[in-house]
Structure 1
Amino acid sequence: MTNLQKKMFIVITILFAIVLSMLGSLTFAQKIEPNQLNVQYKTLKDEKIPKSMNDVSIVYFTDLQYGKFENKKRANKLFDTIRHLDPDIVIFGGDLFDTSCQMSQQDIDYITNKLSSIQAPLGKFCVLGEKDEANNDVIRSILNQSQFEILENETILLTNEQKDGITLSALSNSPDVSKISISNQQYNLLISHMPDTITNEDLSTKAISLALCGHSHGTQITFPIFGGYKSIDGAKSLNRSHAKRLSFPYIISTGIGCTHTNLRFMAKPEVYYLMLQNK
């Protein structure tokens, strides 16, 4: 074999390996990753968490996007997981149905029953996503029937049958930061559907302990080195590929469902299991 032949063989081998890798990644992104569900366990330790809230658990999930891609099989996996985790508090971050879904009465009944079946003795809470607002009356009816309290530009106190507790603040897609009233003496959770909302400079003066966001789906498809394949409104300045240093820590969940395309790569669906601990 001549030197030229050796070089050609090496080039062809490399190209062949790249093609195989791309095909393998595409298969994984289409057939495997969208059907997976990770549980991210995180302990929140802070001296501001009262002893009465010690070992209280919170499940946070977002962007179910039930419809064209998120079918009953996938959704059942989510609800079975939440039931297994047996949380004290449940927080939903918005976007119940995908915009491509023509909601039938059967779909509405199914989601209502599944959300209603979630047991959370200390409360079920949520914010609305932009897709929820497109079907505002129907989504509000489903959430209300399922005993989810819809929070919009407000702060509530979460307790465990005691006077003290932690706060949960919510910013809607038309945020009004002035309505977030919290004390630096308390542990303060903040939830916003869109990550860009929490970059508001006025929040830097608030004593936020942890913010929870969704919306971006972890960019749904993330390329090594290059990051997400696209950014979307509401998650352009802050997403899994573009972090920012804020005055408080935050979590941007990859969410549950798929939108626009039935693909996920390096952005597995996930729920968060948060355990409160008095430090």
Structure 2
Amino acid sequence: MTKFQKQMFIIITILFAVVLSMASSLTIAKNLEPDKLNVQYKTLQDSKIPESMNDVSIVYFTDLQYGKFENKKRTNKLFNKIKHLDPDIIIFGGDLFDETCQMNQEDIDYITSKFSKIPAPLGKFCVLGEKDEANSDIVRSILNQSQFEILENETILLTNHKKDGITLSALSNTPDPSKISTADAQYNLLVTHMPDTLINEDLSTKSISLALCGHSHGTQITFPILGGYKTIDGAKSLNRSRAKKLAFPYIISSGIGCTHVNLRFMSTPEIYYFMLQSK
């Protein structure tokens, strides 16, 4: 084999490996990852959590995006998993329907039934996403019928039938941090839809134990080294590919559904299961 032939062989081998890798990645992104559902189990242990809240469980999920891509098969898998986890408290982070979904009565009845049957004896809470606000009347009606309390720039107390508990603060898509109340002596969860809300300087003076958000779908398609394939409004400064050090810990969920394209790569759909423990 001549030197030229060796060079061509190496080049062809590299190109073949690149094409094979791209084809494999596309198969995963299209046929495998969107149908997966990971459960992220985390123990929240803190001296600020009262003993009455020991072993209280919280399930957090966001960005269902029911519609064009998030069909009944995927949605049934989600709610079967939540039922199996049997949480005491449920928190939904917003975006019930995808923007392309033409909601008919069958869709509305189906989602209402699924949300109504979620087990959560200590309460069901949510914030609205930007797509919810575009269909505000319908989404609010579904959530209200499903016994979800919609939180908007406010703080409530979560308890286990006792006087003490932990606080849950919520910021809407037009956030007003001055309306949430946090105390240093209490464990405080913060939930908001858009990650960029968390970089609001007014939050740096609040006592926040953990913040939860979604919206960006984990950028939905994440390339190794390069990061997310695009950024969206509300998640340009803070997303799964671009972290910032804040005054408090935070979690950006990759959410459940797909939007724009029925693809996910290195951004598997996920829900979070938290177990509270007094330290």
Number of the residue aligned with 2:94: 94
Name the SS of the counterpart of 1:197 in structure 2.
helix
Query: Following TM superposition, by how much is the alpha carbon of 1:58 offset from its aligned partner in structure 2, in angstroms?
Result: 0.2
Number of the residue aligned with 1:55: 55
Alignment partners' CA distance in 2, 1:182 and 1:4 = 70
- 1:32 and 2:13 matched: no
Runs of at least 5 residues in structure 1 that lack an aligned partner in the other structure: none
Query: Following TM superposition, by how much is the alpha carbon of 1:9 offset from its aligned partner in structure 2, in angstroms?
Result: 0.5
Query: Following TM superposition, by how much is the alpha carbon of 1:7 offset from its aligned partner in structure 2, in angstroms?
Result: 1.2
Query: Following TM superposition, by how much is the alpha carbon of 1:172 offset from its aligned partner in structure 2, in angstroms?
Result: 0.2
Name the SS of the counterpart of 1:174 in structure 2.
coil
Alignment partners' CA distance in 2, 1:208 and 1:268 = 27
- Identical-pair percentage: 80
Alignment partners' CA distance in 1, 2:127 and 2:42 = 21
Amino acid at match of 1:220: Q
Equivalent runs, 1:205-220 vs 2, <5 Å: 205-220=205-220
Alignment partners' CA distance in 2, 1:223 and 1:239 = 14
Name the SS of the counterpart of 2:120 in structure 1.
coil
Alignment partners' CA distance in 2, 1:146 and 1:191 = 19
1:169-194, Cα deviation, whole Å (9 max, x unpaired): 00000101100111000000000000
TM-score norm. by structure 2 comes to 1.00
Alignment partners' CA distance in 1, 2:224 and 2:182 = 39
Number of the residue aligned with 1:156: 156
Number of the residue aligned with 1:111: 111
Number of the residue aligned with 2:177: 177
Number of the residue aligned with 1:19: 19
Alignment partners' CA distance in 2, 1:134 and 1:39 = 29
Alignment partners' CA distance in 1, 2:24 and 2:182 = 49
Number of the residue aligned with 1:10: 10
Alignment partners' CA distance in 2, 1:143 and 1:220 = 26
Amino acid at match of 1:195: P
Name the SS of the counterpart of 1:11 in structure 2.
helix
Equivalent runs, 1:251-262 vs 2, <5 Å: 251-262=251-262
Alignment partners' CA distance in 1, 2:247 and 2:255 = 24
1:238-279, Cα deviation, whole Å (9 max, x unpaired): 000000000000000000000000000000000000010001
Query: Following TM superposition, by how much is the alpha carbon of 1:4 offset from its aligned partner in structure 2, in angstroms?
Result: 1.0
Alignment partners' CA distance in 2, 1:272 and 1:13 = 42
The RMSD of aligned alpha carbons is 0.4
Alignment partners' CA distance in 2, 1:275 and 1:179 = 27
**Moved segments of 4+, more than 6 Å:** none
Alignment partners' CA distance in 1, 2:247 and 2:108 = 40
1:112-170, Cα deviation, whole Å (9 max, x unpaired): 00000101000000000000000000000000000000000000000000000000000
Alignment partners' CA distance in 1, 2:145 and 2:126 = 13
Alignment partners' CA distance in 2, 1:2 and 1:196 = 58
Query: Following TM superposition, by how much is the alpha carbon of 1:221 offset from its aligned partner in structure 2, in angstroms?
Result: 0.3
Name the SS of the counterpart of 2:75 in structure 1.
helix
Equivalent runs, 1:215-254 vs 2, <5 Å: 215-254=215-254
1:186-222, Cα deviation, whole Å (9 max, x unpaired): 0000000000001100000000000000000000000
Q: Size of the alignment, in residue pairs?
A: 279
Alignment partners' CA distance in 2, 1:152 and 1:255 = 20
Alignment partners' CA distance in 2, 1:30 and 1:104 = 27
Number of the residue aligned with 2:276: 276
Alignment partners' CA distance in 2, 1:17 and 1:185 = 56
1:84-123, Cα deviation, whole Å (9 max, x unpaired): 0000000000000001000010000000000001010000
Name the SS of the counterpart of 1:169 in structure 2.
strand
Query: Following TM superposition, by how much is the alpha carbon of 1:10 offset from its aligned partner in structure 2, in angstroms?
Result: 1.0
Alignment partners' CA distance in 2, 1:216 and 1:46 = 29
